[in-house]
Structure formats: structure tokens, C-alpha cells
Amino acid sequence: MISTEKLLKHMAWANTEILSQVALLPDEALGAYVVNPEWTVREIIHHYVRSSHFYGYRLQMRTPEIARQGEPKREAYIQSETAPARSSDILPLIEALKIADRTLLDESFEEEGVVYREVEGELIERSRSTIIFQAIHHATEHRAQLVSALEARGYSSISLDDFDLWAFADLFGE
């Protein structure tokens, strides 16, 4: 059976590599955007690091009771996290993202099952694989979005081709 392990490891590697390169850019690069000025590189990074933690968190909500108890903790976490003001602020976010990516990988070895989330009093049930696949897709989408934003504002030093699955397989083997 084919597993998601390679995809999760690729995601973690690409996350680290691309954000490491963004951290080397001038602080002004964090203000880059494609069309919507609300989706700057700064906000994209903030959003997808926070979301990565949330996906791992959701995978641990194995009962409705745990999900109901967990929502206030999640809200407190969201309020405590800040977007990077300077490029150097990305470095601690990379370390936080590594933890989130590791949680997703560890959780991927568990049985399928379901997880829960309470939203405005309504209980939502999802398959564990849906959360994991969404996490992978979400990270890929936002890496592409942030590189596009950088390119739109003249910062073209990062090529997504250098961080695709082919590059990962060449570097780490099949």
C-alpha cells in the first residue's frame, strides 16, 4: 500500500527550505502580494504556519468531548501568535513549523478513524486522512502563493521547481 509518508516529508522539507530562503530577503519582501494587499507574504506565512499547527491539533480531537474542551485552548493559541514583522522573525516560525510538520507525520501512522471539531456549537466530524491531505495541499498552495507574491514584486530568487517532489526524490532518494 502506498503511504503518505513521502508527501509529508516532502512538505516538511519544502516548508523549511522555502521559508529559509524568504528569511534571507529584505524585510520589505514580506509586504509583497499578487493582487489582494491583505495577502502579503507576511500574512501568507503567518496563516500557513498557524494552520499547520491547527491540522495537527485537529488530529488529536478524537472524541466530541475533547473537541469541545479544546476550542478555548485553540483560540488562546491563535491570539498569541504574531505575523513576522522582519525577515529574521521567520527563523523561529520555521522551528515552530518543523514541530507542526512532525506532528502531522506522527499522526499519519495512526489508524484512519475520525476526528471532531466544534464550531459555533455544531460538531463537525472528519476522517483523519481528510485532515492530513488538506494539510499537504494547503501548504503546497500557500508556498506557491508566497513565491508568486515575491515574483510579482521583483523578488525572483526562489524557484518552486527547486523544491518539488522530483527535487526531493533526487536529494533524498526513492
- Express each pLDDT in 124-165 by its tens digit: 999 999 999 999 999 999 999 999 999 999 999 999 999 999
Q: What is the CATH number of the domain that holds 157?
A: 1.20.120
Which pLDDT does position 80 carry in this prediction? 55
List, in sequence order, the alpha helices (H) in the chain. 5-22, 41-59, 64-80, 90-108, 128-152, 165-172
Looking at the domain assignment, is residue 149 inside a domain?
Answer: yes
Hey, what's the torsion of the CAs at 92, 94, 95, 98, to 10 degrees?
160
Structural domain of 105: 5-61+83-109+132-172
Looking at the domain assignment, is residue 123 inside a domain?
Answer: no
Looking at the domain assignment, is residue 24 inside a domain?
Answer: yes
Looking at the domain assignment, is residue 35 inside a domain?
Answer: yes
Looking at the domain assignment, is residue 118 inside a domain?
Answer: no
Q: How many beta carbons lie within 10 A of that of residue 89, not counting itself? A: 17
Which pLDDT does position 153 carry in this prediction? 97
Which pLDDT does position 121 carry in this prediction? 85
Which pLDDT does position 82 carry in this prediction? 80
- Express each pLDDT in 7-55 by its tens digit: 999 999 999 999 999 999 999 999 999 999 999 999 999 999 999 989 9
The number of distinct structural domains making up the chain is 1
Looking at the domain assignment, is residue 14 inside a domain?
Answer: yes
> Taking CA 85 as the corner, what is the angle to CA 91 and CA 139, rounded to the nearest 5 degrees?
55
Looking at the domain assignment, is residue 163 inside a domain?
Answer: yes
Looking at the domain assignment, is residue 76 inside a domain?
Answer: no
CA nearest neighbour of 93 among 36, 153, 42:
42
Query: What pairs with residue 122 in β-bridges?
Result: 119
- Express each pLDDT in 60-118 by its tens digit: 999 999 888 876 666 655 655 788 999 999 999 999 999 999 999 999 999 999 999 98
DSSP 88: G
Q: How far is CA 167 from CA 13, 115, 161, 173, in A?
A: 11, 33, 7, 10
Which pLDDT does position 72 carry in this prediction? 66
Which pLDDT does position 101 carry in this prediction? 95
Q: Which residue has the cell 491570539?
A: 79
